[in-house]
Amino acid sequence: MSQDMENRRRQVLIVDDEIVNRLMLGNILNSEYDVLYAGDGLEAMEILHAQSNRISCIMLDILMPRMDGREFLRQRRNDEKLCMIPVIVLTSEVGSEVETLDLGASDFLKKPYDDEKVILARVRRLVELTENRRIIQSTERDQLTGLYTKQYFYEYVTQQEYYSPGRLMDVVVLNIEKFHLVNEIYGRVYGDNVLRETAAAIRRNLGDQGGIECRTDGDVFYIYLPHQEDYNSLRDRLQTSLDTQFPKARVRLRIGVCLMKPDEDIEIERRCDRAKSACDTVKDIYTSPVAFYDEDMQQKSLLSMRMISEVESAIEKRQLQAYFQPKFDITGPVPILCSAEALVRWNHPELGMISPGAFIPLFEKNGLIQKVDYHVWREAAAQVSAWKEEYGVSIPVSVNISRIDLYDPGLVDKLTGILKEFDLSYDEFYLEVTETAYVGDEKHIVDTIMSLQELGFHIEMDDFGSGYSSLGMLTSLPVDILKMDMKLVRDICRSRKNRYLVSSVIKLAHYMSMRVVAEGVEEKEQCDLLREEGCDVIQGWYFSKPLPADQFTRFIKEKKQAEGKG
């Protein structure tokens, strides 16, 4: 802060038609404040409109010509800027205190004046309180929409429920679908107008119902309101407001609702989280834009919390296990076991076998997938080493590398460290990277994968055909093996177009010196057609579901026997 700002004094405006009274009060205040003077309310208004931002307090007489103190207070009350400046009324009228306080005055001084120390103390305290209030108000409201900020929303809801218990109040979370596209296509100013109109529509529809609203996290709004019978109708009214104002943008709203039950006592933060969870369930679902938090969601939420809290213990206790699904080379007349994919399974002592679909997406969101992946990598490598030692057969195993893993600066060291620990070669440890990790061709990710490939790792593009990549992008990405998603394989026997597509993918991959793996093969007819089209390797329940290591040994023994006969 500059020296000039540190030395700048606050200003007080004294409004009194008696010059003696003005000067007397000014002499008391000028030891701490710069003092301005006005002879009546009209002159005071002129001064205030010229420099209202610099005046910290108004000392106002009641009885004056032209515009008296009462009229001044009435006009001040209707002015957005002036009403923020505190007023101390100067009066000798008996009984005028309550009237002037009702008109918006903050304090009063009786004539003749008290001791000057008392006057200074009262002015000082009032200015301090007003400035503190302004600081609070600057953080209380969202600058763009005028709605409460999240923390004040929580506080006001908590206070309302404490002082007005028993009201049946719900929580709604409203989200603007794909709002980032509105900003990208139409610009930030247009997007800000959409947010302002959304807030205005909320206030128009709920302003007289005693609710509380806030904006949080960009395009997300929290609403605390009396229970509604029809939330679809509420959402439709809000949607109509936006459609009218922004017809070209086609802005779409979705909402999640947490209904409050009469016997529940749940803090507002948890109810907002529940409503948001419900809102997330209708993301990209255009036929049903309203969702309610229910018992099902609560159980899923509790399970998610439990899995997050227990994952490290599960790794330590070896509840998270590597399962292996065999891959068969079908380039010859007889399918031959050539490798396997390591997949994680959670064998929980109380919940039983937990589906990977329940915990992998959850851990990908919060970063815990890195710990799970590293555990599975080591389990898989240890098993490959054990099979080599026990059966003298090398079975390469592919492991999954998540997009989050690719941002780990220690990834290369971790993977090479595992190979050294278990005395494996790069030909025995393949890396599967999902297709979506490549989309966008982010330089860091591509560079990381390329460095792994240059070391000697075989890179498989997993789930090819399930995302948004183009065939052309294969020419510039580090890929050794193309793994077709099961969606491409599923209808190969029933759809000529699907078969042509699979055939084209195989030919293109071979042209670029890539081997092709087809996953999700469940029928002999699928296997035969894939062989005819030139697919190299297949994986799926036609041969085997994913198996624990001890059961997978059956395939190893069969392979060893076949090699012995050969």
- 399-444: per-residue pLDDT in tens? 999 988 998 999 999 999 999 999 999 999 999 988 777 665 577 8
Strand locations in 411-474 (E): 429-434, 459-464
Query: Coil, strand, or helix at residue 494?
Result: coil
Is the pLDDT confidence value at 473 over 70? no
- 97/89: higher pLDDT: 89
pLDDT of residue 538: 95
* Distance of alpha carbon 79 from alpha carbon 388, whole angstroms: 85
pLDDT of residue 69: 86
pLDDT of residue 304: 87
Query: Coil, strand, or helix at residue 105?
Result: coil
Token representation of residue 86:
């505190």
Residues in contact with 203: Cβ distance below 8 Å, sequence separation at least 6, in sequence order = 147, 213
Is the pLDDT confidence value at 324 over 80? yes
Strand locations in 402-486 (E): 429-434, 459-464, 481-484
pLDDT tens string 297-308: 888 888 888 999
pLDDT tens string 171-212: 999 999 989 889 888 999 999 999 999 999 999 988 777 789
Q: List the one residue out of 229, 242, 256 whose CA is nearest residue 202.
A: 242
| Confidence bin at 5 (pLDDT 50/70/90) | very low
CA distances from 482 to 173, 237, 340, 460, 516 (A): 42, 49, 15, 6, 5
Residues in contact with 223: Cβ distance below 8 Å, sequence separation at least 6, in sequence order = 171, 172, 173, 174, 202, 206, 211, 212, 213
Q: Are strands 253-258 and 169-176 parallel, antiparallel or unpaired?
A: antiparallel
Tell me, letter by letter, the H, E, C secondary structure of 261-318.
Answer: CCCCCCCHHHHHHHHHHHHHCCCCCCCCCEEECCHHHHHHHHHHHHHHHHHHHHHHCC
- 423/137: higher pLDDT: 423
- Positive or negative CA dihedral for 479, 481, 487, 489? positive
Q: Are the beta carbons of 109 and 122 closer than 8 angstroms?
A: yes
Is residue 196 classed exposed, middle or buried when 0-12, 13-18 and 19+ CB atoms within 10 A define those classes? middle
Q: What angle do CA 94, 97, 101 make, to 5 degrees?
A: 165
pLDDT of residue 262: 67
pLDDT of residue 1: 37
Q: Are the beta carbons of 479 and 459 closer than 8 angstroms?
A: yes
* Distance of alpha carbon 112 from alpha carbon 328, whole angstroms: 103
* Distance of alpha carbon 294 from alpha carbon 308, whole angstroms: 21
CATH no. of 311-487+541-565:
3.20.20.450
* Distance of alpha carbon 257 from alpha carbon 293, whole angstroms: 6
- In the DSSP assignment, the letter for residue 26 is H
- Per-residue burial over 117-148, b = 16 or more CB atoms within 10 Å of its CB, e = otherwise: eebeebbeebbeebeeeeeeeeeeebeebebb
Mean pLDDT of 513-539: 94
* Distance of alpha carbon 520 from alpha carbon 540, whole angstroms: 5
pLDDT tens string 208-264: 777 899 999 789 999 999 998 899 999 999 999 999 999 888 889 999 999 887 667
| Confidence bin at 7 (pLDDT 50/70/90) | low
pLDDT of residue 91: 79
Q: Are the beta carbons of 221 and 212 closer than 8 angstroms?
A: no
pLDDT of residue 194: 93
Domain ranges of the chain: 3-140, 150-293, 311-487+541-565
CATH class of the structural domain 3-140: alpha beta
Mean pLDDT of 391-404: 92
Is the pLDDT confidence value at 467 over 80? no
Is the pLDDT confidence value at 275 over 90? yes
pLDDT of residue 101: 85
Is the pLDDT confidence value at 449 over 50? yes
Is the pLDDT confidence value at 487 over 60? yes
Which range of 122-126, 271-275, 334-338, 379-383 scores highest in mean pLDDT? It is 379-383
Mean pLDDT of 64-70: 88
Q: Are the beta carbons of 46 and 12 closer than 8 angstroms?
A: no
- Architecture of the domain delimited by 150-293: 2-Layer Sandwich (3.30)
Is the pLDDT confidence value at 3 over 60? no
pLDDT of residue 422: 96
Q: How many CB atoms lie within 10 A of CB 407?
A: 14
pLDDT of residue 15: 92
* Distance of alpha carbon 385 from alpha carbon 556, whole angstroms: 13
pLDDT of residue 4: 42
pLDDT of residue 6: 43
Q: Are strands 290-292 and 253-258 parallel, antiparallel or unpaired?
A: parallel
| Confidence bin at 353 (pLDDT 50/70/90) | very high
**Max CA separation in the chain (angstroms):** 122
Mean pLDDT of 479-483: 92
pLDDT tens string 37-61: 999 999 999 998 888 778 889 999 8
Mean pLDDT of all residues in the chain?
87
Peptide bond into 112 cis (omega under 30): yes
- 467/117: higher pLDDT: 117
Is the pLDDT confidence value at 75 over 80? yes
Q: How many CB atoms lie within 10 A of CB 324?
A: 27
pLDDT of residue 415: 97
pLDDT of residue 2: 39
